[in-house]
Amino acid sequence: MRSLVPFLAAAAVLAAAPAQAAPPKVVKMLNRGAGGMMVFEPAIVRIKPGETVVFTPVDKGHDAESIPGMLPAGAQPFKGTISKPISVTFTKPGVYGFKCTPHFAMGMVGAVVVGAPTNLAQARSVALPGRAKQVMTGLLANVR
């Protein structure tokens, strides 16, 4: 019994320790990638509420900004600065559409799906310009 006490004490400390947060997901902003020109890689990210995504400009001239109408109710929009990384923690479940402002019409869009896609129908109905609509439709086609 005596040798069990240190083990039980250590187990109690570990059980009481807060869970480690998941490392942030990284979305690269690229002039050219596997999906063509002016892309986010990956273009779609699935995370749990409370997790973070870091949008990283590998190539200059890109930003990441939420698309109006493509956010869950009560979620805060975000807007990065050209050629600077932006870190966003997503707390509300749902679909968050995002774009590169200078290359929006060229189809440089993506989505973060946080937990259950509660606003999927709304996100699919948002009017987008040019190639952005085609790319986003493809991304959201497999979200359930």
Binding site for Cu cation: which residues?
62, 100, 103, 108
Strands, E assignment, 18-81: 25-33, 36-41, 44-47, 51-57, 65-66
Strands 25-33 and 51-57: parallel
Give the residue ranges of the annotated binding site.
62, 100, 103, 108
Residue 30 backbone dihedrals phi, psi, to 5 degrees? -130, 150
d(CA 74, CA 96): 12
